[in-house]
Amino acid sequence: MALRLGEIAERLGGRIVGDEGLLIQGIAPIETAKAGEIAFVANAKYLKKGAETGASAIIVKAALDEVKKSFLVINDPYYAFARLLTIFHPPRSYPPGVNPRASVGKGVSLGEGTFIGPLAILEDGVKIGERVQIRAGVFVGEGSEIGDETILYPNVTIREGVKIGKRVIIHSGTVIGSDGFGFAPHKGRHYKIPQVGGVIIEDDVEFGANCAVDRAVLGQTLIGRGTKIDNLVQIGHNVTIGNDTILVSQVGISGSVTIGHHVTLAGQVGVSGHLSIGDHVMVGGKSGVTKDISPKQVVSGFPPVPHKDWLKREAAVRHLPEIKKQLKMLSKKIDQLEMQSLTSKKNQAKEE
């Protein structure tokens, strides 16, 4: 595929500084780009690499007078880069239809343009929207619903009674609607609590590989519109997550937690059960959330404290060996001074 730089600007809503007729045949990182390719600079600290790149053109927020290149100038270079990748590398399309090696139950509804891959299993009463892609080996349980233009990659498991919205992307190995971790202790043993609720995934959510979302005990586990979830994330039963939240790899959320919208939980954050995290909260990596967090906080640590305080605490911890050594020296000096004072008092008493 090849596009003129001017045509790219028209599609993305930017302007050209330089040669609009340049033919762009691909996209590459600024460090490795070569002639015929376009690169992007989203952070000002990388601007100096623009003078060294072999790219024919660079996507930037502002043109560089000292760099003799053609520029696509746009307010958000990173977003423009993402859109341009989609233009040059459109998602793979599959011809509509049901593979003969798929298993389709009774009363299944399939929307127009939908693809069902080999060894996929759709149980009775499943409803599939339009232009859905269900790849090889996917399981969709009885009565579940899949919205328009959703993609389920190979070996995804959607248990019974799950509702998935439009344009959802779920990567391989993820399980939606597995049983919540509920057991009633009785006379020294643990008795399973039936998990009879469901899961609702709203529009434009994306799951990475090998995530697990537990069905509710009663009611629904809910993932809000536009939320993005990295690989290896665990979401417990009856959790509610607001819109446009980010959960980074290996986050673990216990049951009945409520998370607001536009929240970010960094890698390996753990959240105890029955807590509330407010809107626009950011929690630093490896933190352990053990109490409610009010909106618009940036916290880190275990238990979490304001991020700036955590940074100061961590900086102080690195100096503990030195501080310990100084304390020992001061303790010895104090002992010596006390001995000298005691000796002086004894001598004064003798003279009197």
Catalytic member of 171, 190, 237, 261: 237
Cα dihedral 46/49/53/57 (nearest 10): 50
Q: Is there a contact between 107 and 145 (Cβ–Cβ < 8 Å)?
A: no
Q: What's the CA angle centered on 291, arms 290 and 292, to 5 degrees?
A: 140
Distance CA 134, CA 118 (A): 9
- Residue 345: count of CB within 10 angstroms of its CB: 10
Q: Is 190 a catalytic residue?
A: no
309: helix, strand or coil: helix
Distance CA 289, CA 311 (A): 17
The b/e string for 102-125 (b: 16+ C-beta within 10 A; e otherwise) is bebeeebebbebbbbbeebbbbeb
What is the DSSP-derived secondary structure letter of residue 58?
A: E
86: helix, strand or coil: helix
- Residue 250 tokens, joined: 């290996």
DSSP conformation letters of 98-149: E-TT-EE-TT-EE-TT-EE-TT-EE-TT-EE-TT-EE-TT-EE-TT-EE-TT
337: helix, strand or coil: helix
**Given its phi and psi angles, is residue 244 left (phi above 0), alpha (psi -120 to 50 degrees) or beta?**
left
Q: Which amino acids are annotated catalytic? A: 237
